[in-house]
Amino acid sequence: MGRTSLACSSRLQMSWMGVQERARGFGPFRQYLVNSSWEAVKELSKRGLGENIDLQIMQLPVVYRKAKEQVCKIWTTLQPLLTVHVGLASSTTALIILEQCGKNKGYQERDVCGFHPEGACCVLDGPEKIESTINMKSLWKNVSVEGIDIILSRDAGRYICDYTYYTSLYYGNGRAAFIHVPPLSESVTAEFLGKALQTIILAMLEQCGEQREMDHRGKK
């Protein structure tokens, strides 16, 4: 297997398996001038994910239109095998949340530009929800990070995080993942979150490898 290119954003996006790995981070969010998701993604980029993954990072604005434009561009131009988004969950203090699915409707809250999507949905006539091909329940059961709890969720919040996730799942045929991280604190530092992301995403990549192997065998 050749080198994989990874792109990261806060609301992180990554791709894997010799195609591209993207990690994307978000900018200032609500009352948080420093978005922990972007700080965590930057720390992840310092650590890397192994010599076969070329990690790139990108920051997304907390703006529906711009976030959608960038996500669509990733899938149309880079065509990654997997995209991982990382966002700030402002309601959590010491939790990492694995989001299993994205929802299409219910986006009434306005972004920092005072805009919300037409019809309050991500994709007109799109499916009500889209599940990630990553088995978050399996990750939740088998992955642990010392010093912080990991929980499973099926509701990413009907704001930019959920909107970005659904859009990525839609254009990527389910090949996306979303991780919510808590705000920074004395005990939850950017370095700590970067290491936690590394652990979780490596487990995601292992799942991708297993799935590719199963698909390959099925074609024989």
Cα gap 112→32, rounded to integer Å: 13
Local structure of 124: helix, strand or coil: coil
Catalytic-labelled residue, pool 8, 121, 161, 208:
161
**Active site includes 216?**
no
Cα gap 74→68, rounded to integer Å: 10
Burial of 197 (0-12, 13-18, 19+ CB in 10 A): buried
**Active site includes 99?**
yes
Angle among Cα 157, 179, 36 to the nearest 5 degrees reads 90
φ, ψ for residue 176, nearest 5 deg? -140, 160
Helices 190-219 and 36-47: crossing angle in degrees, nearest 10, is: 70
Catalytic-labelled residue, pool 99, 101, 121, 208:
99
Catalytic-labelled residue, pool 21, 85, 180, 208:
180
Which residues are marked as active site?
99, 161, 180
